[in-house]
Amino acid sequence: MIDRTGKWWIGTEAADVEEYLRGYTEGGYPADHFEAARCACSAAVFRLDADRDEGCARRTCTSCESEHFICDSANYSEAAHLEPIECPCGNNAFDLAAAFSHGSDGSVRWISVGVRCAACGVLGCPVEWKIDYAPTEHLYQQV
């Protein structure tokens, strides 16, 4: 359940990231597919580095320290200036999920990466980017 009464929306569980992204995207490119991030080690809490201008995001598992570029971000990583994402509380560990918005042809047209702070529950969308190619089905498995 999301508390919407304060300055920031606060989630109580990882699944709240999807609900947040659904509301966040409804005014622009409404998302209709969501994928939560999960590490190969089965952990689900990550640090996030992102470049909002380049549309590039990399997650690092807080359990095993493995790094993974989100969706097609690796294609833009050389030009990106990745910066660590922090919650307003100062924490840098998050539940992560990606929201996918589709064009009329069914291809992904926009990706929004949502987070929920593992310490205080603050929800946000620190990075999003446009997709201008097809096919795009492979992106769902690369969160």
Instruction: Please name the residue that has the structure tokens 């492979």.
Output: 138
CB count within 10 Å of CB 97 equals 24
Q: Which residues pair with 97 in a beta bridge?
A: 36, 114
Could you read off the pLDDT of 108-137 as tens digits, one per residue?
999 999 999 999 999 999 999 999 999 999
Instruction: Tokens for 81, please give them.
Output: 């200036």
Locate the domains of the chain by residue range.
Answer: 16-142
1: confidence class by pLDDT, cuts 50, 70, 90? confident
What integer is the mean pLDDT of 85-107?
97
Describe the chain by its helix, strand, coil percentages, rounded to 5: 15, 35, 50
Query: How many residues are present in the chain?
Result: 143
What integer is the mean pLDDT of 71-76?
96
For residue 107, the model assigns a pLDDT of 96
Instruction: Please name the residue that has the structure tokens 């990550």.
Output: 46
Q: Report how far residue 71's alpha carbon sits from residue 20's, in angstroms, rounded to the nearest whole number.
A: 20
What integer is the mean pLDDT of 78-102?
97
Could you read off the pLDDT of 6-54 as tens digits, one per residue?
999 999 999 999 999 999 999 999 999 999 999 999 999 999 999 999 9
